Amino acid sequence: MDIMIKEYAIRYIAICLHGRVDASTISPLRAQVDQLLNEGVHFFVLDLSEVTFLDSTGLALLIYLLKRSQQVGGDVKMVFPIDEATRRLLQLTRFDRVFEVVESVDLALSSF
Amino acid sequence: MTTNQQSQAAIALTDTIRLELPATYKYLNILGNCLSSMVESVDGLGEPKITSYNVQLAVHEACTNIIQHAYTHNPENERISISLALYQNPRRLQIDLLDSGQPFDITSVKEPDLLAGQIHGYGLFLIKNLMDEVDYTRLPEGNHWRLVKNL
């Protein structure tokens, strides 16, 4: 009898953002996202709980991450911001419908 | 009241701030601080923090649009002239932005299909949805954006 045991590890990455996510701050985040995608990661949690300002550049990057992940069978879950104005922005742009919104990073990771 | 007195009374009812900023992202926080100070100084606003955020975001988007599209080639050497005027009767905040860059074809921008998860097209959508009036005019010397929020 031959026994072959294979172990596969799936990486889940939580990206926790603080403060402003906008055109003036986006470059390092974009580079980090591209690096992770190129490494083959495609399950993410976006923790926006501490985000206090989000512009169209930030929104575009979040959608970019979702699209790229879903193209390879992955997914992105989102922890909503505590800041009420930023929450309303995500509702206005229907990000609460496009992303699966979860209460916490831990809950997100256990639900993949 | 003479015409001159009426004019002076109108001026007294208006707070105006004028800024001329380099067309780069790094100084937009100055503009944001001015806007939040103006909005949050208004008595009796129902949700001053939310209104302040929305006005800051809309104006930030308009400036980002100027930096990315009007001054495509060399924004570092270009400037944005900004006027913020808080009128009292009726109470409103009017923001005028002037740049000397390329024209912007506002009719070419389609409403984003939000549920399709589009990557682009949120900027103008946010400006229109967060402000009460949005006007764009192409002038001989450049572009003029006027954004108005009723307070």
The interface predicted TM-score (ipTM) is 0.90
Identify whether the C-beta of residue B54 lies closer than 8 Å to the C-beta of residue B2.
no
Closest of A29, A56, A27, A102 to residue B129, by C-alpha:
A56
What is the rounded CA–CA span in Å between residue A83 and residue A103?
Answer: 14
Whether residues A89 and B60 touch (CB distance < 8 A) is answered with no
Read off the pLDDT of residues B26-63 as tens digits, 9 standing for 90 and up. 899 999 999 999 998 899 998 999 999 999 999 999 99
- Nearest-neighbour CA in chain A from B140: distance (Å): 29
Whether residues B117 and A85 touch (CB distance < 8 A) is answered with no
Residue B128's pLDDT band (cuts 50, 70, 90): very high
- Nearest-neighbour CA in chain B from A64: distance (Å): 6
Whether residues A60 and B119 touch (CB distance < 8 A) is answered with yes
A74: Cβ contacts below 8 Å, ≥ 6 apart: A41, A42, A43, A44
| Cβ-nearest to A64 among B28, B60, B119 | B119
What is the rounded CA–CA span in Å between residue A55 and residue A44?
Answer: 21
**Would strands B91-99 and A100-102 be described as parallel, antiparallel, or unpaired?**
unpaired
Residues of chain A short of pLDDT 70, as ranges, are: none
Report chain A's mean pLDDT, rounded to a whole number: 95
E strands in chain B? 14-22, 79-88, 91-99, 133-139, 142-150
Three-state DSSP at B145 gives strand
pTM for the structure as a whole: 0.90
B118 vs A: CB within 8 A: yes
Residue B3's pLDDT band (cuts 50, 70, 90): low
φ, ψ at B47 (rounded to 5°) = -135, 75
